[in-house]
Structure 1
Amino acid sequence: MTTTVQDLGSVDTAAVTDALSRGNCGEVAGDAGRRAQYSADASNYRQIPLAVVFPRERRHVLNTLGVCRRLGVPVTSRGAGTSTSGQAVGAGVVLDFSRFFNRLLALDPQARTATVQPGIVLDDLQTAAAEHGLLFGADPSTHSRCTLGGMIGNNACGTHSVAWGRTADNVAELEVVTYRGTVVHLGEMTQDEIDDAMAAGDDRAQLIASLYQLAQSNLATLRTKLGQFPRQVSGYALEHLLPENRFNLARALVGSEGTLAVVLSATVRLIPPPPARALVVLGFQDACAAADAVPSLLDHRLLALEGLDQALTDIVTRPETRAAIDTLPAARAWLFAEIGGTPDELPRRAEALAASARQADGFTGSEVIADPARARRLWRIREDGAGLATRLPGPGGGSEAWPGWEDAAVPPDQLGSYLRQFTELLGHHQLQGAVYGHFGEGCLHVRINFDFTTEEGTAVFRAFVTDAAELIAAHGGSLSGEHGDGQARSALLPLMYGPDIIALFEEFKSIWDPDNGLNPGMIVHPLPVDGNLRVSPHRTPLPLTTVLPFHADGGDFAKATRRCVGVGKCRSAGHRGDVMCPSYRVTLDERDSTRGRARLLYEMTQGEVITDGWRSTEVRDALDLCLSCKGCSVDCPVGVDVATYKSEFLHHHYKGRVRPASHYTMGWLPLLSRLAARMPRLVNALTSSRLASLIKRLGGIAAQRNLPQFADQTFLTWFRSRTPQGEGHRGPVMLWVDSFNNHFTPDVLKAGVDVLESAGFRVQVPDGTQCCGLTWITTGQLSIARRIARRTTTALGPAAGAGIPIVGLEPSCTAALRSDLAELLDGNADARAIAGSTVTLAELLIHQASDWQPPLIETSSISQTHCHQHATSGFSADSTLLRRMGVDNTTLDSGCCGLAGNFGFERGHYDVSVAAGEQVLLPAVRAADLDTHILADGFSCRTQISQQTDRTGTHVAQLIARALPPSVPSS
């Protein structure tokens, strides 16, 4: 006998997992780690599922529904988990389509259609369509990771919906299955087709007959209350059942948030893009003035009209993006207007658009962005808005800001009025948030600094969203403009629609899902807006004391881990130019994403699902494939820094316990290298002999890796026996002698000396043999790392205090001096001074020796940016230096090389390490012409290149040194 789907208190997780596993449902997981990873989406809500299923085939979906129906367990469909309203989390079984059920089934360029499985990522569809000169019109900002199934669930719209419509406008047909197992093909239907379907006498006939009767009985209501403007997304889209809309059941199901049926496949329409586009930025005194200008601008056949408030742009910290913002027209709010057409007509149309904007009150200026790279950087601000706006500027990292009222929409002619009253409402409740969104369609996004940690703050949240719903209703608007209602707004729908429409919604749901087995609590029979909150005053986090200060989060590790609000940019496997997250790009497993790891760490701080605190094996295993590349610290729009969290966790997890062997070999490599330097030839002979496999096995090192060879002479030995060259007229510079180059590739440091002396510097090195502590940091041996950091500050502090630049040639060690040192020695003035004095070689030459002319080298190169350099300083100075040298350089959008210090050498990591390198870097190296230089400043990057290709990497210092004139002795 089945239980009621809502009654899950007595349902046993193990029993559900076992039944699903025996039921041929695909990959099934019911362990605490998986359940914690899927406990939240990008919303304020948290529900721990009973199990997670990853279907590979159509029958796996059908079987899962069959098992859940027998057990009386509800099902929640999930794509990328980027929903901001809570409809992608549920207390039953979560069906994750994104991992395996994600294929492009067909693409017909002549018909301009594509048929896809629901887990396909939008960008993957766009890539396939682009080969035929086509695209899918709806393009939300999460396009690099959102799935078509999720877009269908929420009726996603995106930046270009003002021209190309919502997801519903671009869906031709759907194949779905109900909770009771009825498979139905949905699309437009003529009256004859409706009559034939109803006469069939099967389950499908009963479904269509009930839906037809619902529509025929409520024609006037459907015509006057629903579908009144494009962004009226809240509730069910019953207007598509009207005869004039051809009883389109596919469009009626779009936006139903997984509450009616499960999508098995979708056929969507594709369109040709315009031949050229132009971005016109229009400045205004404030966001309200920008909103007032919208109606007059819509006559210009725009592709997009997006609004950004200065409160959002003020949050941006990426240097290249910050530079693009600083040159915008002076304003406190901007409209980003995109036009499309032929290259010849765009300048005229851009000027006409600007002329219209000039007539608006509060207009401050305009600019046509002709540089495509700058335009991309500006659009990135808009795309990252959901993440950027989660931390408002302020002390201690700023206040947390949350969704919950981030998606309301009004008819565009009501936008200015609504925004003014909405701003007043924020002030009335003493709240604030950064506004941005699809101004061209009256849809506003905003993250608000609700305080969910207290009863009072939660009460303010309830009161505010209720008042805001009434405000939207007064303006003829919609609670949701594209994100769906979910748990965030479903309970507020009566304020927008009234009882008659709500009753129709309930009947519509009952026709499709009489058992309430699909995503219960969404849209109808709603869960309360303040139930299942991810942050709640009713849960007390575990008292976890940390070694690192976490100043940006007020010293609160739980707050640090909940920086992850779930926007899922780390799941952008095909997104180039970013580093995060190398292991996820290989495995495509949520556990290996920045978000998945942050979720687990947050659940660890709560002690409910992950119960062992710092000793958690679930967290340890999830962090195992983290490369500590630090890419997330800069690429994540919220600044989640899993590398730092991992160091902190490993410190506590292994405190007083035996560590993995690699922590002693790779973690203590700087000290072991000093011992090896006394007899390098003997050590090299041993590590190259038959004993190598035993050495690697005992040391926790991957059997497939060749161990690096120690140099016959360290750089320090060479340097301290030489005579300085050059005049040194620029004064002293402190060369940081990192352990990797000192012991393995001293020629890199020697080349650095030649370059620095040629540029007029007098090169010094620290006394003794120093270390930044990086290998101890990445392996979580923070007590030792702190002792080493104190030695480093003693050695470098006087130089930094005297204003002497500290130049590093190994990017990972340079990054450690710039960031980790001050974290380890919180409050240490010398550590802060060292961080401020440390520069890369390119930064020193560009900014402190700008009159020095490097040698001209008419050559070509490809360059791999070290992931730690990407996170701390970027590659712009290097690019400038290479241009001055005449080098035709291509910077690879390759992400991390995959070796990442100790990671790629550790046993169990080899396959992921190589696969990460094979995504871009290694194929690019193999394809490069033999006379093309392979530039890689990182020791790890050069090692990966040399071990996986027949080429070798060159440090930029070596490239310069080899071209220096004979007057400067070459080493």
Structure 2
Amino acid sequence: MTDSLARLVDELARTAPGLRIETGAGGTGAYAYDASNYRVPPQAVAFPRSADDVCAVLRACRDTGVPVTARGGGTSMAGNAVGPGVVLDFSRYMNRVLDIDAEARTARVEAGVVLDALQSATGPYGLAFGPDPSSHSRCTLGGMIGNDACGNRSVRHGRTSGHIEALEIVTADGVRAIADHTGLHPVDSDAAGHVSRLEQDIRNLIADNLAPIRTELGRIPRQVSGYHLHRLLPENGFDLARALVGTEGTCAVVTAATVRLVATAPATALLTLGYDDVVDAAEDVPEILRWTPTAVEGMDEAIVATMRARRGPDSVTGLPEGRAWLYVELDGDDEELVASRAAELLAVLKARGRLTGGRVVESVAERRSLWRVREDGAGLAARLVDGGESWPGWEDAAVAPEQLAAYLRDFRKLLATHELTGVLYGHFGAGCVHVRIDFDLATDTGRAATRRFLTEAASLVVGHGGTLSGEHGDGRARGELLEVMYSRQMIRAFAAFKEIFDPDGLLNPGIIVEPAALDADLALHTPTVVLPVETLFSFPHDEDGFEGAVRRCVGVGRCRSDAGGVMCPSYRATGEENHSTRGRARLLQEMVRGGTVQDGWRSTEVKDALDLCLSCKACSSDCPVGVDMATYKAEFLHQHYKGRLRPRSHYSLGWLPLSAALAGYAARPVNALLRGPVGTLLARLGGVTTKRRIPAFASRRARRKVLRAAKTGEPSKALLFVDSFTRAFRPHVAGATARVLADAGIPNTAQDGLCCGLTWVSTGQLSVARRVMARTVARLDDGDGDGLPIVVAEPSCAAALKRDVPELLGTDAARRVAARVHTLTGALTDLAAPDWSPPPLPESVLLQTHCHEYATFGSRRPADLLRKLGVRKVDEAEGCCGLAGNFGFEEQHYDTSMAVADLALRPRLDELADRTELTDLPEPAGRAEPTDRAELPDGEGSLPVVADGFSCATQVDHLAGDRGIRAVHLAELLDPAAHSHPHSHQPGEPS
């Protein structure tokens, strides 16, 4: 710790005793990055809870000469949210909606509130905040104010600056003030003189620069570059609130804002339009704008191809033929009128002759899916189908919409001249083009070439009357290029404006004024020290192995969303950056490069960050760039504990398949022993929580009877892999699965006695896992890839066979086996006889999908199958159950496990218990314990809780078993034996 930082920490201990401040590598490493190309490690990260905390930090920084950078969601793509001094993270605590005035259509919010949280709060009033960036699920209002963000519907609602009524700020010397449409006002009366002098200095600056401000600023709708000094012109009423929007934290720190809201339209229509290329699409934009759309969004084929390759061909539906597309949204008060206008617009565009196809998207679900493709564009474009990487840096230029086609035509020529490839998407209706380019930022030659390209690109866009930045801000990526766009007098006026607010240059230095070189502080370069990386996982999709895998994270921050998808359950439970997928990936990047993390594989900082990762694998699917933190964690644990004593739970839970097999020889006495004091003692010795009941082991005899009874004698069309969890704890599920498959025209043979190695993988015991997997593959591989499909009842084991086995073994045999693996859902979707009719099913089901099934078999989901089979309402508890294999059984993780359960599963179970009367219904065939199901009071019929994962079912039992709610496996729900003999039991014995 430097002397200045030590003094700062001491001063803050006195002046802001409740302020949390992190100075260690584990607390600061993740904040060295945002979503840009840059890496600037901070000295400290502070988490203010109030404006007084912010004042204290700024005063201490002024006294010690330490710079300050304000940060919201950390999604800035131009390097706006990284800095060398203290980073103020507003998203952790200052994230509240303070007030909503529905009549005035305004809201007062703290700087760290996430846009989606504001939209949720204003939605019941029929109101919304107009600007809606694609990062709406994690970007904060403070960040939007800093960059003057826009979004998908900027054609209608413009930029953030147009929706700001007042800003509550703290100046560089720690003085609180309010900026509004008439000027600057002190919060504390004793600061009135200081604030008055500051305002007068600004008025004098504007008076001295009227001509360049009037001629150079505010020329096109998306002109965000530089400072918005034209808002301070006499004809604009000296609107200091809107002048401070877009200053990127370089003039003052915004702590709260009063924002104007817009009414939401009751009816919308979405058109998808196909073109041969983006230039053709841009040619149609002026005509489309005549129809007053709310959104005109464009993208090229690379994004769609990447989405389909990563998430399956069904992940993008509803697009017409083409290699580039526009989304056009219309709105209004009447659905029929809006639909009629959409059809009329489509006809007009078809007559113009550029379309390769077009349609009005009727389905709400399809619209949502299509918007997700567009919103994930930045992340999807980072890692393309061929494995190539692309980067921001020139991702935000804008021109007037009528100039867009000409600009894109010339821009593509420029790319070709420099032998670069760009992935194009963006807000075409506003003339704003986002592009990620395959720059070589890792070598001196590549960086020099990047500099030449960016300089020429700046001249090109200015030549088309455009702007370097249309919403992301200048940041470190474009600040140096402002001299290409503005006159020397304008540049001097910008510098004078900042100096009035920040005479010591401590607020976000290197941004806009006295900018850092655009190729300085690039994260992607060859570090001085590189961690030797010899891993057991092969990381086949990453050219540079583990280093390339962790580099997948480019900081878009979708893992910081509070809703939608499944990742990242630990972040949703704790709200901590280090407990997000991004935070962990950034610390792993620091570990690999030998940056702020110095101890390599032995790093305690990385271990602590990974500790609350549930290994749910949801990030491998939900993360736009496919970060797979569960695999990275397994590799890290293997390397970290190599040759060292492990945590006790790694032995007790990691070796569970072996201990469960032994327990099966004497299940009754073992279960009796575990339910008493000896079980409590063993749990404590094994690092297992005593707050959960240890599941009862099944006997070998019971398992054999169940499997024997399920045999049909028909030639097998599938292999039923009896996994360790099913074998040890619920063999009745194996029997039910065998019967369901046979009933569906898939007679099968049970393969018992093998293991996928999952528990050893999740605890990082990869050497053991490889031996277990190799034995399993040797038994299952047919040598030519034409073997029987392998059906696995336990989703986590199916996922391990599908992904972990080939990536850990790296052999052709492993890949052949993986290609044959199906979950029960997948088998019934793809292999069932066309005329198969399942037994009668309930009208409604509460479903908990296993995270590994969600991540690995995403195109074959239980919810879709249940609907296809006739279940009218599938109420899915979206998100992780919180148990996650060994995680929720580990003593130190129990509280986090319950916090994750509180996000989705527990509320649904509580609602179910409150709404229903429990009735003893027929017991599923072969099950040792009776299963209670709920009877809906409105007569909809039985409402089972379906959870195929053993962890999920165990968590359901833990949360609601005492209220008579139990989870059933999909196989139990579909079991023909249970329906044909509702009051009989299949052979077997209690565990």
Instruction: With the length of structure 1 as denominator, give the TM-score of the two structures.
Output: 0.95
Match of 1:488 among 441, 455, 477: 477
- Alpha-carbon deviation of 1:467? 0.6
Write the distance in 1 (CA, Å) between the matches of 2:456 and 2:194. 43
Map 1:269-668 → 2, pairs under 5 A: 269-317=260-308, 322-323=313-314, 325=316, 327-341=318-332, 342-360=334-352, 362-394=354-386, 398-537=387-526, 539-573=528-562, 575-576=563-564, 578-668=565-655
Write the distance in 2 (CA, Å) between the matches of 1:880 and 1:56. 44
Q: For structure 2, which runs of at least 5 residues remain unmatched after alignment?
A: 917-933, 936-942, 987-991
Shifted more, 412-421 versus 213-222: the winner is 213-222
When the two chains are superposed, the root-mean-square deviation of aligned CA atoms in Å is 2.1
Write the distance in 1 (CA, Å) between the matches of 2:6 and 2:535. 34
For 1:938, the equivalent position in structure 2 comes to 949
For the residue of structure 2 that corresponds to 1:696, the secondary structure is: helix
For 1:796, the equivalent position in structure 2 comes to 780
Write the distance in 2 (CA, Å) between the matches of 1:808 and 1:887. 23
Kept in 2: contact 1:856–1:885 (CA 8 A): no
For the residue of structure 2 that corresponds to 1:553, the secondary structure is: coil
Write the distance in 2 (CA, Å) between the matches of 1:229 and 1:508. 22
For 1:157, the equivalent position in structure 2 comes to 150
Q: For structure 1, which runs of at least 5 residues remain unmatched after alignment?
A: 1-8
Kept in 1: contact 2:95–2:113 (CA 8 A): yes
Q: Deviations over 1:286-326 (max 9, x none)?
A: 10111111112111010000001112211113787743645
Q: Deviations over 1:17-39 (max 9, x none)?
A: 44433431611100111111100
CA 1:96–1:880: 2 relative to 1, 3 Å: closer
Query: Does residue 898 of structure 2 align to residue 917 of structure 1?
Result: no
CA 1:194–1:653: 2 relative to 1, 3 Å: closer
For the residue of structure 2 that corresponds to 1:807, the secondary structure is: strand
Query: Does residue 816 of structure 2 align to residue 830 of structure 1?
Result: no
Aligned residue type for 2:818: A
For 2:823, the equivalent position in structure 1 comes to 840
Kept in 2: contact 1:52–1:96 (CA 8 A): yes
Q: State the percentage of identical aligned residues.
A: 49
- Alpha-carbon deviation of 1:713? 4.2
- Alpha-carbon deviation of 1:962? 5.4
Map 1:843-922 → 2, pairs under 5 A: 843-849=826-832, 850-874=834-858, 876=860, 878-922=862-906
CA 1:33–1:200: 2 relative to 1, 3 Å: closer
- Alpha-carbon deviation of 1:727? 5.6
Write the distance in 1 (CA, Å) between the matches of 2:498 and 2:414. 34
Write the distance in 2 (CA, Å) between the matches of 1:690 and 1:199. 67
Aligned residue type for 1:644: T
Write the distance in 2 (CA, Å) between the matches of 1:479 and 1:413. 17
Match of 1:247 among 235, 238, 257: 238
Write the distance in 2 (CA, Å) between the matches of 1:680 and 1:800. 40
Kept in 1: contact 2:851–2:880 (CA 8 A): yes
Kept in 1: contact 2:4–2:64 (CA 8 A): no
Write the distance in 2 (CA, Å) between the matches of 1:698 and 1:125. 47
Q: Deviations over 1:415-453 (max 9, x none)?
A: 111111111111111111210000001000011111111
Match of 2:205 among 187, 211, 214: 214
Match of 2:714 among 728, 741, 744: 728
CA 1:238–1:884: 2 relative to 1, 3 Å: closer
Write the distance in 1 (CA, Å) between the matches of 2:615 and 2:393. 33
- Alpha-carbon deviation of 1:893? 4.5
Write the distance in 1 (CA, Å) between the matches of 2:681 and 2:711. 46
For 1:954, the equivalent position in structure 2 comes to 968
Q: Deviations over 1:11-68 (max 9, x none)?
A: 5544544443343161110011111110010000011101000011221111111111
Write the distance in 1 (CA, Å) between the matches of 2:103 and 2:678. 63
Kept in 1: contact 2:32–2:39 (CA 8 A): yes
Aligned residue type for 1:226: L
Kept in 2: contact 1:846–1:880 (CA 8 A): no
For the residue of structure 2 that corresponds to 1:487, the secondary structure is: helix
CA 1:433–1:963: 2 relative to 1, 3 Å: farther
Shifted more, 738-747 versus 440-449: the winner is 738-747
CA 1:517–1:736: 2 relative to 1, 3 Å: same
For 1:46, the equivalent position in structure 2 comes to 39
Aligned residue type for 1:580: M
For 2:732, the equivalent position in structure 1 comes to 747
CA 1:538–1:842: 2 relative to 1, 3 Å: closer
Q: Deviations over 1:875-904 (max 9, x none)?
A: 745334423543234141521100000000
For the residue of structure 1 that corresponds to 2:465, the secondary structure is: coil
Match of 1:737 among 706, 712, 722: 722
- Alpha-carbon deviation of 1:718? 2.3
Aligned residue type for 1:21: A
Instruction: With the length of structure 2 as denominator, give the TM-score of the two structures.
Output: 0.93
CA 1:613–1:14: 2 relative to 1, 3 Å: farther
- Alpha-carbon deviation of 1:687? 1.4
Write the distance in 2 (CA, Å) between the matches of 1:194 and 1:264. 15
Kept in 1: contact 2:847–2:877 (CA 8 A): no
Q: Deviations over 1:572-625 (max 9, x none)?
A: 01x22x111001000000010000000000000011211110000000010000
- Alpha-carbon deviation of 1:468? 0.4
How many correspondences in the alignment?
A: 951
Write the distance in 2 (CA, Å) between the matches of 1:943 and 1:518. 52
Kept in 2: contact 1:452–1:537 (CA 8 A): no
For the residue of structure 2 that corresponds to 1:300, the secondary structure is: coil
- Alpha-carbon deviation of 1:103? 1.1
For 2:170, the equivalent position in structure 1 comes to 177
For 1:6, the equivalent position in structure 2 comes to none
Match of 1:703 among 690, 696, 700: 690
For the residue of structure 1 that corresponds to 2:335, the secondary structure is: coil
CA 1:612–1:690: 2 relative to 1, 3 Å: same
Write the distance in 2 (CA, Å) between the matches of 1:679 and 1:962. 31
For 1:5, the equivalent position in structure 2 comes to none
Write the distance in 1 (CA, Å) between the matches of 2:911 and 2:860. 25
CA 1:893–1:159: 2 relative to 1, 3 Å: farther
CA 1:432–1:11: 2 relative to 1, 3 Å: farther
Q: Deviations over 1:620-655 (max 9, x none)?
A: 010000000000001000001110000000000000
- Alpha-carbon deviation of 1:679? 1.3
For the residue of structure 2 that corresponds to 1:46, the secondary structure is: coil
- Alpha-carbon deviation of 1:789? 0.5
Query: Does residue 189 of structure 2 align to residue 203 of structure 1?
Result: no
Write the distance in 2 (CA, Å) between the matches of 1:334 and 1:125. 30
Aligned residue type for 1:746: P
Kept in 2: contact 1:857–1:963 (CA 8 A): no
- Alpha-carbon deviation of 1:478? 0.6
- Alpha-carbon deviation of 1:656? 0.4
Write the distance in 1 (CA, Å) between the matches of 2:627 and 2:351. 43
Match of 2:224 among 192, 209, 233: 233
Write the distance in 2 (CA, Å) between the matches of 1:959 and 1:268. 51
For the residue of structure 1 that corresponds to 2:52, the secondary structure is: helix
Kept in 2: contact 1:961–1:970 (CA 8 A): no
Kept in 2: contact 1:405–1:447 (CA 8 A): yes
Write the distance in 1 (CA, Å) between the matches of 2:146 and 2:547. 31
- Alpha-carbon deviation of 1:842? 2.3
For 2:141, the equivalent position in structure 1 comes to 148
For the residue of structure 2 that corresponds to 1:667, the secondary structure is: coil
Query: Does residue 215 of structure 2 align to residue 224 of structure 1?
Result: yes
For the residue of structure 2 that corresponds to 1:307, the secondary structure is: strand
Write the distance in 2 (CA, Å) between the matches of 1:629 and 1:863. 17
Kept in 1: contact 2:882–2:955 (CA 8 A): yes
CA 1:428–1:182: 2 relative to 1, 3 Å: same
Write the distance in 1 (CA, Å) between the matches of 2:415 and 2:250. 32
Write the distance in 1 (CA, Å) between the matches of 2:3 and 2:82. 18
